[in-house]
A and B are shown apart, each in its own frame.
Chain A
Amino acid sequence: MWISKTIFNHFKSRLNFTPNYAPLSLLSPRRFASTIAQNPSTFNSIHDANQQVIDFPGGTVKFIPEMRFISESSPQRIPCYRVLDDDGQPLANNFVQVSEEVAVRMYSNMVTLQIMDTIFYEAQRQGRISFYATTIGEEAINIASAAALTRDDVIFPQYREPGPLLWRGFTLQEIAHQCFSNKYDNGKGRQMPIHYGSNKHNYFTVASTVATQVPHAVGAAYSLKMDKKDACSITYFGDGGSSEGDFHAALNFAAVMEAPVIFLCRNNGWAISTPTSDQFRSDGVVVKGQAYGVRSIRVDGNDALAIYNAVQAAREMAISEERPVLIEALTYRVGHHSTSDDSTKYRPANEIEWWRLARDPVARFRKWIERNGWWNDMAESELRNSMRQQLLHSIQVAENIEKPPIEDIFNDVYDVPPSNLREQEQWVKDTIKKHPLDYPENISA
């Protein structure tokens, strides 16, 4: 019954639509045209005068008598786009200029991010917070990509991208509240540190699961496209994340659905202890774009201007052409994977140091803004001192604030707590009342 129905539909569509014309309205999309191509009566090889061509589902292909395998790798790796050299000098003049205001703001945010990471990492080492993961080495990707977007573009992070939040105005105090999971955390103390989320800033809450945010971004792009908004979605993930099934399906979907989404891969060389040579055998992540029909580019992730230019161009393409874009930002994870990791166990300490000092994206950008006369040593030390003070203060404040109330264990599981959860909440409260000494003091019951 199924088979005859399918054939019936083929013939039906052939009757209703002229074979060569594909109407472009939403209601009769070009998909009707493609089912016509699969009409059984056209399953013949069409012989062109010179080229032999065959008409399989999916379009015409030339056929050749030589058996040629496509090589598993190109003779040359895909080149990497870069604007500034290691010394902060522009390589050419064909990049989008960034104004002094924007450049200084970008630099300040990168410095803030760097200091924030250092101080919070220390706080974890001192036992003041339970966990932290730094973004050291990837400040340019974090800040420059955010600078190239607008506030309406929705962000789906992995967990190494607090930069866009800082750029959009999330305060250091709010960061501290989240890391200390106190009652002012807008996640209400429910997630581990660094799992920020803020709907005000269009930054979707970090989930620990790897690459699950990639299809979310595609869904969001689909939503934006349906609403015809002048906005795109962007999602970040690492080299490791690109191995997950969700990455592949999401790219595929985005291409099929023509969704305005930017896929930004932070290829930092390491997935905890797994180097990229053990992660994939392709030429990085950028080559995977073409496999799914997605336009892609490889960028120097430690070059803030290159990231800025590429993301801005990608955004334009994504929205005006309604297409996904893949950006592979090459970089290096200078920090450990997280505070639960000691990366000297699997890579040489001098390699880490070299990348930290010689290839620091913050220092490189600083050279460029200083050369433009927009920055100097005094501004630098002022900024660093001020940020350090602010951070220490934020931590102190956050540390002393109460944890969220018991109700927040049970709220937001659903829109309205059902009776079984209310019962469970009461049970917990009664237990605390009966045995107050067994429970921490700073719980409000």
Chain B
Amino acid sequence: MATLFQGLPSSTAFSSSNKFNHAPAPTSFSGTWNNERKSSIVTVRSDARWSPVLNSATHKPQRLITNAVATKADSSLASTSSKPGHELLLFEALREGLEEEMERDPCVCVMGEDVGHYGGSYKVTKGLATKFGDLRVLDTPIAENSFTGMGIGAAMTGLRPIIEGMNMGFLLLAFNQISNNCGMLHYTSGGQFKIPVVIRGPGGVGRQLGAEHSQRLESYFQSIPGIQMVACSTPYNAKGLMKAAIRSENPVILFEHVLLYNLKDRIPDEEYVLSLEEAEMVRPGEHVTILTYSRMRYHVMQAAKTLVNKGYDPEVIDIRSLKPFDLHTIGKSVKKTHRVLIVEECMRTGGIGASLTAAITENFNDDLDAPIVCLSSQDVPTPYAGTLEEWTVVQPAQIVTAVEQLCQ
């Protein structure tokens, strides 16, 4: 399996090859080292040795990870609190949450492309048009800026719309409405008009969907004042966050991930709503705090398995709330472990990781024993070729190495 490799005497291993431009000794972890880190491509071979992909002509590079998502996260603390319950896939959990809220409140409605009869391109709204009528599950023409605007107008007049972007990347067309109107009108109207919309859709790097369909919009939206952002990662938190987002009086952007829709898990039968501002403790630990969200949670948990075998005890937190950050949970963890690794899918520049690094450094600098390490995707459009695409996403092997570096 790709992730097995011997403990690396990292400084010597890296400095041996200056073709990679590695920093000679990992004393400073920020910026440069991380840039090098992800630009180097290492092959971890099944004989547990590793070698740089220098002579790629002579041996073909192995895939670094065979499934996009680890089989299951350490679910003991994360997902379910009661064993009885029902099993479903993540997209079904989203739909369940949506359906429950639509039943509970007749003002809740959905609008987006192909959400009605077609049931949504990822089936999140399947069956809802038949049940609630096509005025409440509205198929819109292709004009993201305008149907987002429509949703805002409807919200200001008393409805609670859920606006679906077929792919998060398409919401770039709605940026004007989201930033200038959605985020602002409650404020500029002096609190007179509220905009309780939920803007949701799948984003992130998928399986060869091409650059335009692999956007991480949380980077671009995070600056907009007046909106909240959350990212779901399990069926349990998907349903809980969907319900919470619908009930919130603020505009909320709910980030789903293209590759997580078919995750299966058991969720409670009883009704539950999660908090929009809380992070999720996935795996408590002592040595290092790993902060992550969405799909990267699974890469982290995969790496965690390896790390545990090697004697490390990582604390894994799925931050879930991208705006605002749950600095309470994060702070508690930092004070315990004194080391932080952020693993994200955003690009290096201006991503969630960048903001999180700044927030933690500002607030908990005295509690850190080492500079924060942030693993992100490179600042490149996502290439189509499968192998290239995989290397733009942080892989468990890199996470393991980063933790080892951090914990020296």
Contacts and interface: CB of A to CB of B under 8 A. Distances in A.
A226 B158 CA distance: 11
A411 B191 contact: yes
A204 B186 CA distance: 11
B149 A214 contact: yes
Nearest to B118: A9
B319 to A, nearest CB: 15
A218 B150 contact: yes
A415 interface: yes
A253 interface: yes
Given A226-B159, A413-B225, A418-B324, A198 B136 contact: no
B65 interface: no
Interface stretch (B33-41, B139-147, B238-246, B278-286): B139-147
Contacts of B138: 222, 257
Contact of A207 (B145, B188, B327): B188
Contacts of B181: 207, 209, 212, 216
B146 A215 contact: yes
Interface in A239-292: 245-246, 248-250, 252-253, 256-257
Nearest to B189: A205
B370 interface: no
A186 B192 contact: yes
A249 B145 contact: yes
Contacts of B158: 223, 227
Interface in A183-224: 185-188, 190-191, 195, 197-199, 204-205, 207, 209, 212-220, 222-224
A413 B359 CA distance: 20
Given A154-B157, A204-B193, A190 B187 contact: yes
Interface stretch (A26-34, A38-46, A97-105, A382-390): A26-34
Contact of B176 (A188, A195, A212, A233): A212
B156 A204 contact: yes
Nearest to B228: A414
Interface string A115-143: 00000000000000000000000000000
A213 B184 CA distance: 13
Interface string B147-180: 1111111111111010000000000000011001
B25 interface: no
B156 A222 contact: no
A225 interface: yes
Interface in B248-273: 248-250
A156 interface: yes
Contacts of A207: 180-181, 184-185, 188
B130 interface: yes
A37 to B, nearest CB: 14
Contacts of A204: 156, 189, 193
Given A207-B188, A219-B151, A212 B180 contact: yes
Contact of A253 (B141, B188, B228, B324): B141
B177 A220 contact: no
A420 interface: yes
B45 interface: no
Given A219-B155, A253-B143, A187 B189 contact: yes
A209 B250 contact: no
Contacts of A249: 141, 143, 145-147
Contact of A212 (B149, B191, B249): B149
Contacts of A29: 134
A412 B153 contact: no
Contacts of A420: 324
Contacts of A27: 130, 133-134
Nearest to A415: B249
A246 B176 CA distance: 10
A381 interface: no
Interface centre among B143, B248, B327, by most chain A C-beta atoms within 10 angstroms, is B143
Given A9-B118, A205-B185, A412-B187, 11 more contacts: A190-B187, A215-B146, A216-B149, A218-B153, A220-B154, A226-B159, A249-B145, A256-B141, A411-B191, A414-B228, A419-B327
